[in-house]
């Protein structure tokens, strides 16, 4: 992957969902972090890679939405580009829209993910 996620604003590495939600609690709408997923996310990514016969990498967007709802989206890096998984295992389906960079993917949901949260990053060599 040519894009280094651990250099991207909002990248926090290997942080649990609970820790990410605690850091985002009471932050303004649109504040987000990008992080490594957990074992379930990894299994989903492996299953999707097998189903689509492609090499995939993934990370999680954890973001504050209106009414202080904190939600997560699985972002996939595919040979076609970056995409948010939408519960359809056929990544070649026409309803998926791919973006060349993680920045472009986040800009596609700018009303949702607009401000990376800056907190101490945890450095690991396996970025997403």
Each residue's pLDDT tens digit, 5-17: 777 888 999 999 9
| Mean per-residue pLDDT of the chain | 86
Range of the domain at 59: 5-110
Q: Do the domain assignments include residue 120?
A: no
Q: Do the domain assignments include residue 124?
A: no
Lowest mean pLDDT among 53-62, 72-81, 93-102, 111-120: 111-120
Provide the CATH number for the domain around residue 72: 3.30.505.10
pLDDT digits (tens, 9 = 90+) for 108-128: 886 677 777 765 443 433 444
What's the predicted TM-score (pTM) here? Answer: 0.84
Q: Do the domain assignments include residue 41?
A: yes
Q: Do the domain assignments include residue 104?
A: yes
Tokens of 20: 């990410």
Count up the domains in the chain and report the number.
Answer: 1
pLDDT-derived band at 3, boundaries 50, 70, 90: low
Q: Comparing C-alpha atoms, which of 89, 84, 79, 87 is closest to residue 108?
A: 84
Q: Is the dihedral of CA 52, 57, 62, 66 positive or negative?
A: negative
Tokens of 17: 């969902």
Q: What is the dihedral of CA 13, 41, 60, 88, to 10 degrees?
A: 160
Q: Do the domain assignments include residue 69?
A: yes
């Amino acid at each position: 992957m040519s894009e280094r996620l651990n250099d991207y604003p909002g990248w926090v590495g290997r942080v649990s969902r609970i820790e990410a939600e605690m850091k985002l609690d009471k932050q303004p709408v649109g504040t987000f972090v990008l992080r490594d997923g957990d074992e379930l996310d990894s299994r989903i990514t492996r299953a999707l890679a097998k189903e689509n016969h492609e090499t995939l990498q993934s990370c999680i967007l954890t973001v504050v939405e209106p009414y202080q709802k904190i939600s997560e989206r699985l972002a996939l890096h595919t040979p076609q580009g970056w995409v948010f998984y939408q519960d359809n295992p056929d990544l070649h389906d026409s309803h998926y829209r791919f973006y060349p960079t993680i920045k472009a993917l986040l800009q596609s949901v700018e009303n949702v993910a607009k401000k990376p949260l800056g907190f101490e990053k945890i450095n690991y060599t396996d970025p997403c």
